[in-house]
Amino acid sequence: MKINKIILNNFGLFKDQEINLDQTNLITGTNLDTLENDKSFSSNGSGKSTIISAILFSLFGESTNVNLKDLIRLNAKECSVELYCSLNNEHLKIIRKIPASLQIFLNDNLVQFNTQTIAQNYINELIGTDLNKFRTYNIIDNAKGINLLDLGITSLRKALMEFVNEQFLKIRQSLLSQKLERETYNVNKKLYTFYLSTKRQSILESGLIQLNEQLQMARKDLEDEANILSNFKSDISSREKIIFYKEAEAKKAKEGICPILKQTCDRIGSKMTEEAKLNSQKEITQAQEEIVEIKTMLKAEEEAYNYFKSIVDSLDTKIRKTKEFMMKLKEAQKFSAYKYTIKDVQLYADSIKVLDSFSGYYITQWLETLAIIINDLLKPLNISIEFTSDRDFLSVNNAGQILKYEMLSSGQKKFLGTIFKIGILLQEGINEGILIFDEGLGDIDAINLTKLIDILKSLNFQTLLIYQNIDKSITDVNYINIERKNNESRIL
């Protein structure tokens, strides 16, 4: 991919500017709004890095360490970036705005997407990278970004493994996932060993419905029987009350005690005739006979009640046991996948160990090839490097003098770190695209900067370099000069 043109509208300090790019581009800036020591103008804040932010925003919808709303020019309501690219003999145009809006044109035809996430994935596939990889390997900003060689041997190895060994990581993740599955569904972890059958469960469910229906009927019979018992007991109670009151009335009449005054009264005894006494006794006798008859029927009904209660209790027990069995059967179904053995688990554990061992061998071979590529790039400088198996990991041969990485100057480290990143891209078969140097070369002197540019010009990468005080005598490069005045940046 090659960026041909960028159009900025109310983006950062740029109001309405068009930036044309070539293969090699050097970006300089002057900030006329600030003076240093009242003598010279500074390039800081002129808008150089805004171009990098515009590229990141247009390609990925994000920027570095900047809230997207802060990219909108002061007093403007929205901003946009139009990016025009050449890509595999096709023309790609990306128009991205804040607030969120994205349009993608391929060969002047609008490509439609349901969501911006799908659209972003489409862009990533077209340019062959994503935001994370682009920031790590395509942006060289040793001042604020990542110098891989400064990470230390452990972190460096990890970073390289993540980049060059994605296939191994996918295989390893797949093995780990399958190992976890076999550990989880190990037959030794089964909690239930019931014979599993959908027919068996269906029979139980149907039987449970019938039991509930029978229970409902039995409870109705038990309720009816309880009402009969209650009526019989009520009848007995009412007759016992009649007997009590009749006997009490006769006793009080015989003894001449007034039931109201609770004292002897001569007139009471004479008030109750012999016929009344006889009738009262007949009523008592009849009530006693009825009580005997009702108690006989009550005993039979109590036996019936106990029978229906035993049926209800039995059905309750059957339903409870059936539900418990069904619950265990359903729980057992959860363990139907528990079919792996300890040998299965160990097989995958051993496979992961073999893969890790092979990936270690692979990374060693990969580093040897990477060293060849890096040394080919460094050949004009009479410098070469070698990856070692010891704790130093890297040694540098500078015109015959063997140096550890820690012994290099800051400028040499940044130069070597830059070549190291380029070498990784070339090793992965990525020999074109965009390389951005965002003021990460400040410690590299003008001579070595010229040598670095010569190396970059020999490659197929499109490069954008931000460098203060660039010597404009360098040939075959496109100079982009930015001037900031009255809080507005313009391309001169």
> What are the tens digits of pLDDT across the range 301-358?
888 889 889 989 998 888 888 888 888 777 766 666 667 777 777 887 877 777 777 6
What percent of the chain has pLDDT above 70? 81
The residue type of 369 is T
pLDDT tens digit string along 364-421?
787 888 889 999 998 888 889 888 766 667 788 888 888 887 787 777 777 888 888 8
115, 224: one domain? no
pLDDT above 60: residue 65? yes
pLDDT higher than 70, residue 18: yes
* 350 lies in some domain: no
Q: How confident is the model at residue 23 (pLDDT cuts 50, 70, 90)?
A: very high
Arithmetic mean of pLDDT over the chain: 81
Choose the final residue of a domain: 292, 312, 334.
334
Residues 129, 203: one domain? no
Mean predicted confidence (pLDDT) in 435-463: 81
Q: Which of 47, 139, 50, 122 is nearest to 87 (CA)?
A: 122
Residue 234 in domain: yes
Q: Name which of 174, 161, 120, 186 is nearest 344 in CA terms.
A: 186
For 364, other C-beta atoms within 10 Å of its C-beta total: 11
Kindly report the CATH number assigned to the domain that includes residue 439.
3.40.50.300
Task: List Cα–Cα distances, 465 to 50, 136, 441, 481, 484, in angstroms.
Answer: 13, 16, 9, 12, 19
Domain count, the chain: 2
Q: What is the pLDDT of residues 116-143, one digit of tens each?
A: 889 999 999 988 888 888 887 788 764 4
Of 10, 6, 5, 164, give the one whose Cα is nearest residue 72.
Answer: 10
Q: Which of 313, 334, 355 is the last residue of a domain?
A: 334
Question: Do residues 140 and 245 share a domain?
Answer: no
Under 8 Å between Cβ of 76 and 89: no
- Place 44 in a pLDDT band, splitting at 50, 70 and 90: confident
Domain housing 276: 198-334
Q: Indicate the residue among 314, 334, 354 that finishes a domain.
A: 334
Residue 405 confidence (pLDDT): 76
* pLDDT at residue 54, rounded to an integer: 92
Residues 16 and 142 in one domain: yes
Q: Give me the sign of the Cα torsion angle 322, 327, 330, 335.
A: negative
Q: Which of 166, 219, 175 shows the shortest CA–CA distance to 366? A: 166
Token pair, residue 213, equals 């229906």
Does residue 218 share a domain with residue 144? no
Model-level pTM greater than 0.85? Answer: no
CB atoms within 10 A of CB 68: 15
Q: Are residues 139 and 205 in the same domain?
A: no
Residue 212 makes CB contacts below 8 A (sequence gap 6+) with: 319
What's the N-to-C CA distance of the chain in angstroms? 26
Q: What is the pLDDT of residue 36?
A: 56
190 band by pLDDT with thresholds 50, 70 and 90: low
Q: Are 484 and 47 in contact (CB under 8 A)?
A: yes
Q: Residue 165 — pLDDT band, cuts 50, 70, 90?
A: low
How far is 255 from 377, CA to CA, in rounded Å? 139
Residue ranges of E strands in 55-188 = 79-87, 90-98, 101-106, 109-111, 139-140
Return the bridge partners of 41, or none.
35
